[in-house]
Amino acid sequence: MNPLFQFDDRRFPRSDCFFQSGAGRWHGYSSNDDGEFNRHNLGREYLIEAAREHAKEMAVFAIILAAATWPVIYMIFTVVQVFHKAAR
């Protein structure tokens, strides 16, 4: 027996119209009691999370900046002490 040709003239291939995902119901959308989309404040939640991340990054940057400026501050302090002793 020859296999059946899937294309009839210019139509799309045949597809199974009775496909079931197997989970019992589709989980792509969950509606709440009033039927509205439950992520109405997604932009606000994103901004809050971005602010938290920004605060963490700024804290780490401050630590790195303090570590980088400490040798310069110590050098200036030492030079001032040397000039102060030389002036006596």
- Looking at residue 44, what is its pLDDT? 85
Q: How far apart are CA 79 and CA 72, in angstroms?
A: 11
Segments forming the whole domain that contains residue 81: 41-88
Task: Name which of 58, 77, 54 is nearest 66 in CA terms.
Answer: 58
Locate 62 and state its tokens.
């401050």
pLDDT value at position 26? 54
If one counts the domains in the chain, the total is 1
- DSSP assignment, residue 34? T
The reply to whether 78 falls in a domain is yes
Q: Examine residue 4 and state whether it is found in any structural domain, yes or no.
A: no
pLDDT of residue 45: 87
What residues contact 37, with CB distance under 8 A and at least 6 apart?
31
User: Which pLDDT does position 18 carry in this prediction?
Assistant: 61
In-domain check, residue 46: yes
Q: What is the pLDDT of residue 21?
A: 59
Confidence at residue 87, expressed as pLDDT on a 0 to 100 scale: 83
Length of the chain: 88
Asked if residue 12 belongs to a domain, the reply is no
Distance of alpha carbon 8 from alpha carbon 6, whole angstroms: 7
Residue 36 lies in a domain: no
Examine residue 60 and state whether it is found in any structural domain, yes or no: yes
SS3 44: helix
Q: Is the full-model pTM beyond 0.75?
A: no
Mean pLDDT, the chain cut into blocks of 10 residues (88 residues total): 60 60 56 56 86 95 96 96 89
Q: Is residue 30 part of a domain?
A: no
